[in-house]
Amino acid sequence: MQKTDLTPCDADFVSRLSDMLPDGCVRAPETRYLSEPRGRWDGLAGAVALPRNTDDVATILRACHTARVAVVPYGGGTGLVGGQITPDGPAPLLLSLERMTAIRAVHPSENVLVADAGAILTDVQSAAEANGRLFPLSLASEGSARIGGLLATNAGGVNVLRYGNARDLVLGLEAVMPDGSIWHGLKRLRKDNTGYDLRHLLLGSEGTLGVITAASLRLFPRNQSEGAAMLVVTSPKAALDLLALAQEQLSGMISGFELIGGMGLAFLAETMPQVRQPFARAPDWMVLLDLGAPAGVDLATLMERVLTDAMEHGLVTDGLIAQNAAQRAEFWRLRESIPEANRHIGAVSSHDISLPLSELPGFIDRAGPELARIGDFRINCFGHLGDGNLHYNVFPVPGRSRADHEHQRNAIKTCVHDLVHQMGGSVSAEHGIGRLKVADLERYGDPVKLAAMRAIKTALDPAGIMNPGAVLRRA
C-alpha cells in the first residue's frame, strides 16, 4: 500500500496544462473514456490529454508530477480488469495516446517493427504483412486495442503457445517516467546484458510505473501454409494427451490449441444461431487445433495422420479438417464468438486463470462440485489449453439472471481462485490485475514479491501519481 496525497485535476490545473501544450491537446472527457467493457465501474477524470508525441507526454507527466495530479493511461479501453479507469479519489488526468499511431519503421531483414504506443494492433499486423512478415499477437479486441495498452498489460491471445505473451515480442521500449524524464530504450537488439531490464519491468506494469510511448516489436516469417481442425475429444485429459501427440508430430507448427466446452456451444446456439457449428450434435468437449508451416510442408497429410493416430489412441471420436482458408476462418469465428455469447447470457463471475498443464483436468473435475455447494450454476470452461490458460466462467441457470446471484459472486470467485492457488496456478493468466484483482493479489501473492513490488513503485513513482489504485492498493 502506497500512501499518497494527490490533488484533483481541476480547472486551474487544466488551464495551466493547456498553456504548456499545442491547441487541442487537452479537453473534457467524453463518456467513452469513463466506462469499461464489463460495466463494473464508471470512471472519473478532470480532463483528457491527447499528446501528439513523446515530448508532449513528457510535458504532461512533468506537470502532473509537480502538481501531484494522478494520471490514468488509456489505450483502447478494452481491458477487462478496470485498469483504464478510476472510480474514486481525486479526479485524475486521463492520458490517451490515440494520436500517436505511427509505424515508425519496419526492418524486414531484422524482423523488427517500431511503432508508437497508440498504434492499433491490426495496423501493426497489416504493416508487418505488407513487408512479408508476421506480428503474431492476436486477440478478439485487436481492431481497437492499442500497442501501449497491450504491452502494459502483457496481453496473451491465441498464439501464446507458439510465440509467447506480449512481453516475449518486445525488443525495446521508449517510455516516459513519472517525473517526465524520457527513457530512450528503443533498441532492436536480441542481446543486451547491461544490468537491470527496465523493459520487462514496464511490460505488465499496467501504467503504474510510467507510460510506454513506443516499442520495437519482433516479427516472424509468414506461414506459407496454414490449417486447422475441429476435433471432438473424450475429456480435457484426452485433449492434453492429444496436444502431446500433436507436438511430437507437428513440432514447431502448432500456433493454437483451444479447448471448447459444450456449454459454450449451447450458449452460441441460444444467442448467436447464425454462427455455424461444426457438428450436428454439440460435443461435451472439442479442440481447435491451428497450424502454420513454411513452404513445402504438406499440412493436410500431417493433420490427417494426427487425427488417425488420435482416434486409434481413443483420444478423438470425430473431427473435421479445414479444407480451405474460408473454413479455417469459420472455425476461428466460432471460437472467437464464445465471449460474445457469454456476454449475451450474463456471467455471475468470470475467471481468467492458468494452471500447470497436468493440473488442468483435475481442476475442471473438482471446481464444478465445489461450486455446486454454493448454488445451481452453468459453467462455461474454454480457453488456451496449450498454454494452460482457461476462461472459467459461471452463469445462472435458465430462468434466472446474474442479478439473482450478485450476493454470491464473491463466494464463487473465492471458491475458484482458492482452488487455483492450491493447485499451483495463477488467478490472472492474461488480463492483468487492474483494480478488479487487487485484493486477489494481496490474498494469493507471495509476500516477498509484493514487498518488492511496493518498493519499486515507491522508488520510481514516489508521488504516487501513476494509475493509483491499479495493481497495488492505495491508502
Q: How far apart are CA 467 and CA 457, in angstroms?
A: 11
Distance, C-alpha 191 to centroid of its chain: 26
Specify whether the CB–CB gap between 348 and 407 falls below 8 A. Answer: no
- Residues 137, 141, 147, 149, CA torsion sign: negative
CA-nearest of 282, 296, 143, 307 to 228 is 307
Joined together, the cell numbers standing for residue 158 give: 491465441
Q: How far apart are CA 376 and CA 221, in angstroms?
A: 49
Residue 410: CA count within 13 A, CB half-sphere: 3
pLDDT for 119 equals: 98
CB atoms within 10 A of CB 273: 9
pLDDT for 351 equals: 96
CA-nearest of 142, 138, 155, 160 to 388 is 160
Q: Report which DSSP code applies to 92.
A: P
Q: How far apart are CA 475 and CA 472, in angstroms?
A: 10
pLDDT for 272 equals: 96
What ranges in 190-235 are assigned the alpha helix state H? 198-202
Q: How far apart are CA 227 and CA 305, in angstroms?
A: 14
pLDDT in tens, the chain (475 residues): 545 589 999 999 999 999 999 999 999 999 899 988 877 788 899 999 999 999 999 999 999 999 999 999 999 988 889 889 988 889 999 999 999 999 999 999 999 999 999 999 999 999 999 999 999 999 989 999 999 999 999 999 999 999 999 999 999 999 999 999 999 999 999 999 999 999 999 999 999 999 999 999 999 999 999 999 999 999 999 999 999 999 999 999 999 999 999 999 999 999 999 999 999 999 999 999 999 999 889 998 999 999 999 999 999 999 999 999 999 999 999 999 999 999 999 999 999 999 999 999 999 999 999 999 999 999 999 999 999 999 999 999 999 998 999 999 999 999 999 999 999 999 999 999 999 999 999 999 999 999 999 999 999 999 999 999 999 998 6
Q: What is the strand order of the sheet 47-49 is part of?
A: 26-27, 47-49, 93-96, 71-74
CA-nearest of 286, 289, 323, 330 to 306 is 289
In total, the chain counts a number of residues equal to 475
pLDDT for 4 equals: 59
Specify whether the CB–CB gap between 75 and 149 falls below 8 A. Answer: yes
Residue 175: CA count within 13 A, CB half-sphere: 27
Residue 377's Cβ-count burial label (10 Å; 0-12, 13-18, 19+) is buried
Specify whether the CB–CB gap between 85 and 468 falls below 8 A. Answer: no
pLDDT for 52 equals: 97
Query: Which segments within 50-145 are labelled E, that is strand?
Result: 71-74, 93-96, 103-107, 112-116, 133-134
Residue pointed to by grid coordinates 500497442: 147
Joined together, the cell numbers standing for residue 241 give: 494427451
pLDDT for 468 equals: 96
Q: 353 has which bridge partners?
A: 390
Joined together, the cell numbers standing for residue 197 give: 531490464
What ranges in 227-298 are assigned the alpha helix state H? 236-249, 262-271
Q: No. of H helices and E strands in the chain?
A: 14, 18
